[in-house]
A and B are shown apart, each in its own frame.
Chain A
Amino acid sequence: MADIKQLQDFATQVRRDILRMVHAVSSGHPGGSLGATDFVTALYQEIMEHNASNFNMEADGEDAFFLSNGHISPMWYSVLARSGYFNVSELATFRKLNSRLQGHPTTAEGLEGIRMASGSLGQGLSVAIGVALAKKLDGDSHLVYTLHGDGELDEGQVWEAALYAGAKKVDNLIATVDYNKQQIDGSVEHVMDLGDLGAKWKAFGWHVMEMQGNDMADIIKVMAEAKAATGKGVPIVILMHTEMGAGVDFMEGTHKWHGQAPSDEQLATALEQLPETLGDY
Chain B
Amino acid sequence: MKKYTYTETNDTRSGFGAGLLEAGKRNKNVVAMCADLIGSLKMDAFKNEFPERFFQTGIAEANMIGMAGGLATAGKIPFTGTFANFSTARVLDQVRQTVAYSNKNVKICASHAGLTLGEDGATHQTMEDISMMKNLPNMVVINPCDYNQTKAATLAIMEYEGPVYLRFGRPKVPIFTPADQEFKIGEALMLNEGADVSIFATGHMVWKAIEAGEILAEKGIDAEIINIHTIKPLDVDAVLKSAAKTGCVVSAEEHLRNGGLGDNIAQILALNNPLPMEMVAVDDQFGESGTPDQLMTKYGLDTKDIVAAAERAVARK
Residues of A within 8 A of B (CB): 57-60, 64, 106-108, 115-120, 122-135, 137-138, 156-157, 160-161, 163-164, 167-168
Residue of B with least CB distance to A155:
B62
Chain B, interface residues (CB within 8 Å), range: 20 to 34
Cβ-based interface call for B53 (8 A): yes
Assess whether A164 is in contact with B73, with CB atoms less than 8 Å apart.
Answer: no
Q: Convert B45-76 into 0s and 1s, putting 1 for each residue whose CB lies closer than 8 angstroms to a CB of A.
A: 00000001101011010111111111111111
Assess whether B101 is in contact with A117, with CB atoms less than 8 Å apart.
Answer: yes
Assess whether B60 is in contact with A163, with CB atoms less than 8 Å apart.
Answer: yes
Assess whether B102 is in contact with A130, with CB atoms less than 8 Å apart.
Answer: no
Assess whether B60 is in contact with A160, with CB atoms less than 8 Å apart.
Answer: yes
Cβ-based interface call for B98 (8 A): yes
Cβ-based interface call for B283 (8 A): no
Do A116 and B98 form a contact, CB below 8 Å, given A126-B66, A134-B75, A160-B62? yes
Interface centre among A58, A122, A128, A130 (most CB of B within 10 A): A130
Shortest B163–chain A CB gap in Å is 12
Assess whether A130 is in contact with B71, with CB atoms less than 8 Å apart.
Answer: yes
Assess whether A127 is in contact with B70, with CB atoms less than 8 Å apart.
Answer: yes
Assess whether A107 is in contact with B71, with CB atoms less than 8 Å apart.
Answer: no
Contacts of A133 in B (CB 8 A): 55, 67, 70-71
Assess whether B57 is in contact with A164, with CB atoms less than 8 Å apart.
Answer: yes
Assess whether B67 is in contact with A129, with CB atoms less than 8 Å apart.
Answer: yes
**Cα distance, A117 to B97, chains bound together (Å):** 6
Contacts of B53 in A (CB 8 A): 137
Residue of B with least CB distance to A57:
B73
Assess whether A164 is in contact with B60, with CB atoms less than 8 Å apart.
Answer: yes
Assess whether A156 is in contact with B62, with CB atoms less than 8 Å apart.
Answer: yes
Shortest B277–chain A CB gap in Å is 35
Contacts of A131 in B (CB 8 A): 70-71, 73-74
Residues of B within 8 A of A (CB): 31, 52-53, 55, 57-58, 60, 62-76, 78, 93-94, 96-98, 101-104
Shortest B37–chain A CB gap in Å is 16
Assess whether A58 is in contact with B75, with CB atoms less than 8 Å apart.
Answer: yes
Contacts of B75 in A (CB 8 A): 58, 60, 134, 138
Residue of A with least CB distance to B67:
A130
Residue of A with least CB distance to B137:
A108
Assess whether A126 is in contact with B62, with CB atoms less than 8 Å apart.
Answer: yes
Task: Give 30 pairs: A residue, B residue, CB < 8 Å, sorted on A.
Answer: A57-B73, A58-B74, A122-B62, A123-B62, A123-B66, A126-B94, A126-B98, A127-B69, A127-B70, A127-B98, A128-B70, A129-B63, A129-B66, A130-B67, A130-B70, A130-B73, A131-B70, A131-B74, A132-B70, A133-B70, A134-B73, A134-B76, A137-B53, A137-B76, A156-B62, A157-B63, A161-B66, A163-B60, A163-B63, A164-B60
Assess whether B94 is in contact with A123, with CB atoms less than 8 Å apart.
Answer: yes
Shortest B95–chain A CB gap in Å is 11
Residue of B with least CB distance to A115:
B73
**Cα distance, A81 to B64, chains bound together (Å):** 32
Assess whether B76 is in contact with A116, with CB atoms less than 8 Å apart.
Answer: no
**Cα distance, A164 to B96, chains bound together (Å):** 22
**Cα distance, A138 to B53, chains bound together (Å):** 11
Shortest B88–chain A CB gap in Å is 16
Assess whether A157 is in contact with B72, with CB atoms less than 8 Å apart.
Answer: no
Residue of A with least CB distance to B78:
A130
Interface centre among A57, A107, A120, A127 (most CB of B within 10 A): A127
Do A119 and B97 form a contact, CB below 8 Å, given A60-B75, A131-B70, A157-B62? yes
Contacts of A130 in B (CB 8 A): 66-74, 76, 78
Shortest B149–chain A CB gap in Å is 30
Assess whether B63 is in contact with A160, with CB atoms less than 8 Å apart.
Answer: yes
